[in-house]
Amino acid sequence: MTNNKGAVIGSLILLFFIITSAFAPWFATYPVNEMNFEDSLKGPSVEHWLGTDEFGRDIWTRILYGGRVSLLMGLFAVVVSGTIGVILGVVAGYYRKLDMYIMQFIDILMVFPSLLMAIAIVAVLGVGLTNAMIAVAISAVPSFVRVVRGAVLTIRETEYVEAARALGLRNFKIIFKHILPNVTSPIIILATLDFGSAILSAASLSFLGLGAQPPNPEWGALVYVGKSFLSQAWWMTLFPGLAIMLVVLGFNLLGDGLRDALDPKSK
């Protein structure tokens, strides 16, 4: 993967945001919620690298702390959707009697665009950061199910799995010893790509006022607040938007690199 320039660039972008977000207090130039109305709506300067918002809060600092929230939302969505999706995908691919029922349910979910489904789930659960994380996670489950099921359908017909059955191994042991280790590559690739998509979906929900709420410095919420001051303080929208774009780009580049490295068919 080191020969893939895109993957290297993506890794460096992600490394920058992960480090600066994880150690935000060290990199921040001001307290995250410190208000100074004398400095309100000031453009980028030596004192405030990325400018200030309507309350005089430092945009650079709020982006750093907002990275914690956005990256955590993406991680939660991928872990939850990946866990549920892998379980359902393995069951559907290995137990053919259950395949039809599971995939009919997944096909119904896939009729709706992921963002529209997330909005519908938030509408049922209620507005808030936690509910937005749950909604994004649920909306990402179908992609994991379909990818894992497809891989399992191929592997379950291989000779070594047939031999394991002939030797009398239980299905549970066959799944964990012979099938799951051989579907890790597509899972890793999909999880990397979905990480960026989850962050984008979470930011979209916050932008629509359904996710993180002010004064929470989540990137989508920062863009949402900044749009009201677009004509007089463009930096309030531009820099959080760039942060979202760069992180999603980083995950996409890294995911493409992992696909080239782990998937022989892509070469």
Q: How confident is the model at residue 267 (pLDDT cuts 50, 70, 90)?
A: low
Token couple for 185: 């590559």
Q: How far apart are CA 61 and CA 162, in angstroms?
A: 57
Q: Where are the domains of the chain?
A: 5-266
Q: 5-266 has which CATH code?
A: 1.10.3720.10
pLDDT tens string 36-92: 998 899 999 999 999 999 999 999 999 999 999 999 999 999 999 999 999 999 999
Token couple for 77: 């969505």
pLDDT tens string 96-128: 889 999 999 999 888 888 888 999 999 899 988
pLDDT for 21 equals: 95
pLDDT for 53 equals: 93
User: How many Cβ atoms from other residues are within 10 Å of residue 231's Cβ?
Assistant: 6
Task: Residue 122: name the closest of 225, 213, 205, 214 by CA.
Answer: 205
User: How many Cβ atoms from other residues are within 10 Å of residue 76's Cβ?
Assistant: 17
pLDDT tens string 182-237: 899 899 999 999 999 999 999 999 998 898 887 889 999 999 999 989 889 999 99
pLDDT tens string 236-250: 999 999 999 999 999
CA distances from 194 to 98, 189, 248 (A): 26, 9, 9
Q: How far apart are CA 88 and CA 69, in angstroms?
A: 28
Stated pTM of the model:
0.89
